[in-house]
Amino acid sequence: MHSSEEHAPNPEAADVEGLGIYNEDGAVRSDYLAHIGAAIADRDTLELRRDVGRLHQSELGDLLEALLPDQRRALVELMGDQFDFSALTEVDEAIRLDIVENLPNAQIAQAVQELDSDDAVYILEDLDQEDQDEILAQLPFTERIRLRRSLSYPEETAGRRMQTEFAAVPPFWTVGQTIDYMREEQNLPDRFAQIFVIDPSFRLVGAVDLDRLLRTKRAVRIEDIMHETRHAIPATMDQEEAAREFEQYDLLSAAVVDENDRLVGVLTIDDVVDVIQQEAEEDILRMGGVGDEELSDSILQTSRSRVPWLLVNLVTAFLAASVIGLFDATIEQIVALAVLMPIVAGMGGNAGSQTMTVTVRALATRDLDIYNAGRIIRRELAVGSINGVIFALLVGSVAAFWFASPTIGGIIAAAMIINLFVAALAGILIPLVLDRFGADPAVSSAVFVTAVTDVVGFFAFLGLAAWWFGII
């Protein structure tokens, strides 16, 4: 093992450090990665602590994700007590667990004490209950109680995301007392924009913005300048609902209260930005039928997460194939139908996906509800009809010229109008119905919309052809 004194200053390290860690595409630079990898291989603690210790937590998170698993674990070991554990809130869950599970609980407990409570909960919530209990048992009593309370709330609620460090004073204090309290109290958060006002039972009665406080004379009482907290967040509120409150009312922070309206924490805008990004990623993944998959997942984990919806897709594919089987005699006599029918189904699927995407997003943001659903449905049906006519004329003309048959062109044009109309209807009604019955439309809609457009497209096109040519 090399000691840190054995390494002379590396002139290349200064060049690597001066350029930052990202290339022009926003990825970790390959030369920086090679430099850190070499330092890890040499177990050069001094160089690692100098080059890695200066990184922001988000930069360190990107570096951890770019390293190989063995390098990642070795880096954390070599950094020792200078490793910034808040970086673990910036990485995939699989990477976070891989690092934490290879550390002794005593080291995790020591690191947790130096983190904000929301970051500590983010790290602890993925651990086994036994490890959680062992780590919490090593913390000071007050901190242990705060973290246990946060962990007791359901996942993806405001209570899990809140910070339990906050500034709170009674209404009878003066501005001067409050300012002195902020200067002297050691357990306040590093950054905050509001001071909350509470009664003796810790019930929230109001808040004072820091700019108002600093513009007021010291002798003025807090109750004279406080305002009501109109947007207190229940601790059990879903984190996505809480983020919507921030978005609607342009909040920088909000009090979090329990079922008795007692102040238990504060939700800040940086946490809400993370929630918005997390929820958006989840919706995108679910619409693709891949659940909570992450890039760091193993091959088996990735395969297991994708199989269920692929099986559902397989069933719907057989359903569409059975419709084609009903018209095998028609296809045998008119080969052009086999060439053209994927066009009808494909256009319907794409049109349905467009409507479905808009609908799912509108449901997620609560822009679509029972009061405006009728108007939106009529709009989408009108759009589907207009697009159906446009592409019916285009595809019908091409098909008629291609196969020298105006009849074939007319059949596919009619089928196109029918399928794009149905696609618009399915694209909005299926998410609405799923949402009405408590299912997540982002997860389930795509499979069913595709099934409907395939079945209707094949049936309309082949059915019209069989009817027109008398082949039943």
Which bin fits 49, alpha (ψ -120 to 50), beta or left (φ > 0)? alpha
Please state, as a whole number, how many other Cβ atoms lie within 10 Å of the Cβ of residue 7.
Answer: 16
Are 362 and 471 within 8 A, CB to CB?
Answer: no
Distance, in Å, from the CA atom of 392 to the CA atom of 287, rounded to the nearest integer, reads 29
Q: How far apart are CA 8 and CA 51, in angstroms?
A: 15
Phi and psi torsions of 370, nearest 5°: -65, -25
Strand stretches in 258-355, DSSP E: 263-268
Check pLDDT > 50 for residue 72.
yes
Cβ neighbour number for residue 332 with a 10 Å cutoff: 11
Mean pLDDT of the chain: 87
Superfamily of domain 168-269: CBS-domain (3.10.580.10)
**pLDDT tens string 388-443:** 999 999 999 999 999 999 999 999 999 999 999 999 999 999 999 888 888 778 77
Domain boundaries, the chain: 4-160, 168-269, 299-469
| CB burial readout 160-174, b (16+ within 10 A) else e | bbbbbbbbbbeeebb
Q: Binning pLDDT at 50, 70 and 90, where does residue 160 land?
A: very high
CATH architecture, domain 299-469: Orthogonal Bundle (1.10)
Spell out a b/e string for 412-434, using b for 16 or more CB atoms within 10 Å of the CB, else e.
bbbbbbbbbbbbbbbbbbbbbeb
Percentage of the chain modeled with pLDDT above 70 = 92
Asked if the model's pLDDT at residue 152 lies above 50, the reply is yes
| pLDDT at position 3 | 39
Ramachandran region, residue 261 (left: φ > 0; alpha: ψ -120 to 50; beta: rest): left
What is the reported pTM?
A: 0.69
Q: Which CATH architecture has domain 4-160?
A: Alpha Horseshoe (1.25)
Compute CA 251 distance to the chain's CA centroid, rounded to the nearest angstrom: 20
Distance CA(223)–CA(421), nearest Å, equals: 61
Mean pLDDT to the nearest integer, 141-160:
92
- Nearest of 274, 292, 295 to residue 283 by alpha carbon: 292
Q: How far is CA 112 from CA 48, 176, 266, in A?
A: 22, 33, 19
- Using an 8 Å Cβ cutoff, are 167 and 192 in contact? yes
Q: How many helices (H) and strands (E) does the chain have?
A: 22, 6
* First-residue to last-residue Cα distance in the chain: 82
**Do the beta carbons of residue 169 and residue 179 sit within 8 Å?**
no
| Rounded CA separation 337/170 (Å) | 79
Q: What is the mean pLDDT of residues 171-181?
A: 95
φ, ψ dihedrals at 237, nearest 5°: -65, 140
CB 179 within 8 A of CB 218: yes
How far apart (Å, rounded) are the C-alpha atoms in residues 197 and 141?
Answer: 25
CA–CA dist 243, 249 (Å, integer): 10
The answer for residues whose C-beta is within 8 angstroms of residue 345's C-beta and 6 or more apart is 320, 419, 453, 454, 457, 458
- What is the average per-residue pLDDT within 301-330? 82
Per-residue pLDDT at 297:
66
Rounded CA separation 398/414 (Å): 14
Give the CA dihedral 333, 338, 339, 342, nearest 10 degrees. Answer: 160
Per-residue model confidence as pLDDT tens digits over 363-385: 877 778 777 888 889 999 999 99
How far is Cα 469 from Cα 413, in angstroms, rounded to an integer?
16
Region 269-290 average pLDDT? 77
pLDDT at 1: 38
